[in-house]
Every structure is written in structure tokens, then in C-alpha cells.
Structure 1
């Protein structure tokens, strides 16, 4: 490193900038007063502390544990438990608190799942090196690897989203005032919550039947009748569905006719 960190006596403080996927951005610093760095305010929050920071040139998945106390400074237990901060982009800066115009970025990455215990949270910060652990090629599959409506699927989603109102809910079961467009038409889709405590969150839909949905898991907060939602049509990713229901066989991203491992178990007369 260079600059103010190379001096025999330094006056630096760590600053965090955390930006959620919905655009909400917060800044925190371990200094005893707020700092303005590059036009962005970092509020004094001494309860946030990182684990040891080690920089190197080895090509391995780097990570960092961040711990802090749950306070009213913008990160609430309610938001952490709902997953609003999962995947948030993070930057960690070392700032000269005597001259905030001097700063250096120590690392960047994104937040992983959050754990909460006794009023404190712990979260892993995954650096860019974590991408090296991901598969570089796709595995063959009889099911489609694209998501309905994405750039590989290319199905036009216009008219495949519908606003609805919650009539009743219990556990992972939700009743709407709308009826699915086709049999299990919402199965494999998503339910976006527009009102209530779950506003801004989304839930995966396993199956649908008429106006009833079965979610992959119960919503984070109890759903109440009258809450508005957006229901996004789904797809079971089978080739037959892609061809018959969507007329999109040329864009199917799977190998439905490729023999699988079950071919090894076949024998004459089976």
C-alpha cells in the first residue's frame, strides 16, 4: 500500500459501504464521528468489526467475516432475517480521518447469508475470488437451464404477470382473488409482495391450482388478507412444456434426448 498508510504514524479508520440490490445504501465507520468520503456519509458505528484482513496474489476464494451489534443505525433484525441484505455489494475502505479525502479501498465483495444470535449478527463477505470456485461450464440436463423470460429463453413476459390480492394464507399456502391462466401456470414462478411486512420480497412458487399457491417456504412475515402481490408465471422447464405451451422449442436450453446415467442400468427384458 502507499500514501497515508505508509507513514510511521497513521490516523486511519475503517469504513464500510453496503448497497442492497434494491438500491438502499448505508455507510458505517469505526471512527467516533461521522465521516464524509467521496461525497458519501459514513456514520459512526463502532459495533461493526471485521475479522483479520489478508491480501495476497493467490488464486483462491477469499472471504471475510463481519460481526456487529444490531442497532437502530439502519440495519434492523427484521431486514436481516428477511434476507433483504443477502447479496448486498460491500466496499471496505481505509480512510484518513484527519483528511477524509485520502482513502484506499481494501476489498470489495458481496454479503452472504446472515446469522443472528443474542442481538448480534455475523455475515461472511465473499470477495471476487469466490467466483473462481464456480463451475466454468454448464452440466447437461434434461431440464432447461434458462429462466422463463431471460435473454436465453426469450419468451415475452408481457401478459404473463398479474396483480392479485391475498384472500387468505396459512403457512406455505396462499389463496388469491385471481385464477391461474393454465393448469399449474404459476408453478415454478414467483410471488412478489407489494404490501405489508413482506413488501419488496419475493417467494418461489412450487405449484398452483386455480387460485391457490403452494410456496417453496412460508413467507418471512405472516401474510395478511388484503395485501397486494404480483404473480409471475412459471415454467416446469420440461421440453414438452416449452414446445407446447410456449412454442419456444428452438430456445430450449437442455438436452431432453441425451441418454443419462440410467442407460447403464438397462438390460434386455427390463
Structure 2
């Protein structure tokens, strides 16, 4: 049970109170922003909570047990608070949100932390946005551990995969040469590479409005004059600037055949390529098959 300071508790019990809500948002890059639904800025707990930010609470659901309650906040874009560019670049994805109940007449001594949440799904409509606030209990619903699968579950080049990404043009630094459409870029400064070299790979923006953002590559064209066309799986919500530095990495379809033939890394394959499929699991003994426990594949 949450214990409130005696003076704060007495103020709440008065009935006619001077209460409001405030949110402290901590992004993954360490930036801290404060917002309040009050009409004046509030200062407490080492943070300034800005008013006139357009923030307002909407629907909230509370559940008992280990269910993950959810709430939402709505707001408008502001050059002094949340910008459309930052939201489009994903800088608020997974941000930590602290919800406070505050007596705006004495915020320094009469405030209480009500909930600790993180930003989930964010949707935009016209000049505003709506952000889902998820309880940390939702992490209990996320899968943990490994799942038996024919395909590899490691990331190309990580400690489990062990593929050396520094050789053979597997990872190259380049520049944005043109933005043809939100999902198609021309990347310059590349070595001579064949068509499809970066297919299923990754493109990371190293500077600019999308700095730190990594997106998936669907297809890549052949390098001509040091430049190649790159098609992304999803369109970019923010447009990079010509000259922005990027890092391109080759991809893998997670199959045992590609791991063995393209990378020579079959010994480190992190899947189960010889696992019998559903057709075998649901089969039955017949005179045409042998079920003697012998090895299925050599």
C-alpha cells in the first residue's frame, strides 16, 4: 500500500483539492522531459514539468494479478517539447514514463509517484499524437529463452553467430546520395558489388535526423559508379538529408544453406535444420517407412 506524506494525504481528504497530474519522460538516449496538465510549469524532484505542452491523459485500464494495465496520453507537437521529427525518428520508443499526482500549490513537498510505465504504440493523426503507456508487467508476456526452429535465431555477426563482418564488404560505410521515395534510397561511396549484395541486410543512420536508427533492407541493386539503389522493407517517416553518413550491412535469410554456403559458418548455425516437420510428426507407421530410431540425416 502506498504511503503518502501526512500533509499531502490531509489535502486529498479535503475533497476540494488543487491536484493535477505530471509526467516525467526519460528517453533511451538519456534526455529527460517533464509535462503537466496544469496551466503553469511545476518544479519538483529535480525536474521542470512544462505546461501548455498539450499533454492530457485519456483512457486508463487497471487490472489485478499479472495482467498488464494500460493507459494513454494525447498531445500536440510543440517545438519546445515533443517534435514531430523526434517522434518519427523513434526517439520515444520504449521511453520510461513516471506518472505523478501533484498539489500544484506546493509541488516541492506534496507530490506522489503513482505509476511507472513505458511508451508502447504511438499513433499520429494530423497535428497531434497518442501514446500508449504500458505497465512493466507487459514484459512478462514477452517470449524468453530459445524456441526450436529450423532457421537460425542469432543476429548476423553477433557473439553466437561469430561471422566476421569486417571482411569482404560485409559492412561498409557510405553516404545518402538521394531520397527517391520514403522506402527507396540511393547510397553512394560503395565498392563494386553485385546486385542483391545487401539484400535482407541492415542500414544504420550514423548522423542526421535519424541518427542511431537501424532499418531493414528488402533489396539492393548493383553498384554503378560507386552508388546503389536500396529498397527498405518499411518507408521512413522522417526524410534523411543528402550526405548523411550510413552503415550498410549484408543480410542472411537465416537458413542453414546460406549459413554454410555464403558464410562457411555451418558449425555455428543456431537453428535446428534437421528437425522433423509437422508432416513427419503427424505421420504413422506403414509398410513403406522404417521407424527404428536410426539417424534421419547423416
Question: 1:63 — aligned with what?
Answer: 70
Question: 2:291 — aligned with what?
Answer: none
Moved over 6 A (4+): 180-183, 265-268
Question: 1:239 — aligned with what?
Answer: 256
Question: 1:258 — aligned with what?
Answer: 275
Larger Cα-atom Rg: 2
Q: Pick the aligned partner of 1:174 from 179, 185, 188.
A: 185
Question: 2:161 — aligned with what?
Answer: 153
Distance change >3 Å, CA 36–CA 155, structure 1 → 2: farther
Question: 1:189 — aligned with what?
Answer: 201
Distance change >3 Å, CA 54–CA 261, structure 1 → 2: closer
Question: 1:142 — aligned with what?
Answer: 150
SS in 2 for 1:61: coil
Q: Is the 8 A contact 1:34 1:42 kept in 2?
A: yes
The offset of 1:37, in angstroms, is: 2.7
Distance 2:192 2:108 in 1: 56
- In structure 1, runs of 5+ residues without a counterpart are none
Distance change >3 Å, CA 33–CA 144, structure 1 → 2: same
Distance change >3 Å, CA 53–CA 176, structure 1 → 2: closer
Distance change >3 Å, CA 196–CA 131, structure 1 → 2: closer
Give aligned pairs, total. Answer: 268
Q: Is the 8 A contact 2:63 2:69 kept in 1?
A: no
Q: Is the 8 A contact 2:62 2:70 kept in 1?
A: no
The offset of 1:124, in angstroms, is: 0.8
Return the TM-score normalized by structure 1.
0.82
Q: Let me know the Cα RMSD of the aligned residues.
A: 3.1
Distance 1:248 1:108 in 2: 44
Whether 1:51 and 2:63 are equivalent positions in the alignment is no
Distance change >3 Å, CA 249–CA 181, structure 1 → 2: farther
Residues 143-163 of structure 1: CA distance to partner in whole angstroms, max 9, x if unpaired?
A: 111212334334454565321
Q: Is the 8 A contact 1:62 1:128 kept in 2?
A: no
Distance change >3 Å, CA 134–CA 13, structure 1 → 2: same
Distance 2:192 2:149 in 1: 28
- In structure 2, runs of 5+ residues without a counterpart are 289-298
Q: Pick the aligned partner of 1:164 from 156, 159, 174.
A: 174
Distance change >3 Å, CA 90–CA 167, structure 1 → 2: same
The offset of 1:55, in angstroms, is: 5.3
Question: 2:43 — aligned with what?
Answer: 36
Question: 2:236 — aligned with what?
Answer: 219
Residues 93-146 of structure 1: CA distance to partner in whole angstroms, max 9, x if unpaired?
A: 223440424533212222122222242211111111212322345432221112
